[in-house]
Amino acid sequence: MDNTVNFWKRMFAFIIDLLIINIVIIYPFRGVFIKYFSGISIAQSFSSNNIIVPTDAYWAIFIISILALLYFTFFDYYLGQTPGKMLLKIKVISTKDKDESINMWRALLRNCYVLPFFPFYIFWFVEPIYLAFYKERFLEKISSTKTVFEESDKYAGKNYAKEFKLDKV
């Protein structure tokens, strides 16, 4: 069975993860957004020079992005898959390590596109284009990781779960 995961499965897994991030990470910050962005549509908030973002809100956005990065990194490292990937039955493996489970640095590198500041936001444009042409993300290539089907012949049954303990975070 070809273990290359198609674009749409990856996209849906990502959307599920974004929904979870909304609940777990962004929802606690709703007070900040209500305070500074109430009455402003999403489209308006992206129009340059029109909407002023107070310093507090700027830092909140920054911290949310760091937590989102930790979300993807921890799940890829400890479980080899985020909840979204788990539901879509796909997972992440290392192409360099013998046991194919990814280390923390690889997990961090493959997910650094989440950060919304220079130079990381460049990947918002690079990744979809690279994925369209090469069926893998650019960051996956440089982090030597790969997204595969859980049940593909090569990876079926392999358990990449590491124990999650707070003192190891």
Partner 1 sequence: MKNSQDDKVNVNKKRIWTMVKILIVLLIFSAIIALFFNNSDATLTGYNTAIISVKGEITSESGGGLFSADTASSPDIINTIEKVKNDANIKAVIFEIDSPGGSAVASDEIAQEIKSLNEKNITTVAWVRETGASGAYWIASSTNHIVANRMSIVGSIGVIGSYLEWYGLMNKYNVTYQRLVSGEYKDAGTPYKPLSSAEEALMQEKLDKIHDYFIEAVAQNRNMSIDSVTKLANGEIYLGAEGKDNGLVDELGGKEEAITYIEHKLNTTVTTKEFSKDKTFIESITGVMSQNSYYVGQGIASGLVKDNGLKITT
Q: Which stretch binds partner 1 (CB under 8 A): 1-9, 21-29, 97-105, 132-140?
A: 21-29
- 18 counts as binding partner 1 under rule CB under 8 A: no
CB of 13 to partner 1, least distance (A): 14
CA-wise closest residue to 146 among 110, 104, 105, 108 = 110
Q: Which stretch binds partner 1 (CB under 8 A): 42-50, 96-104, 126-134, 140-148?
A: 42-50
Is residue 52 near partner 1 by the rule CB under 8 A? yes
- Residue 48 sits in the site that holds partner 1 (CB under 8 A): yes
Contact (Cβ atoms closer than 8 angstroms) between residue 165 and residue 78: no
CA distance 167 to 169: 6
Question: Any contact of residue 25 with partner 1 (CB under 8 A)?
Answer: yes
Comparing C-alpha atoms, which of 20, 117, 44 is closest to residue 36?
A: 44
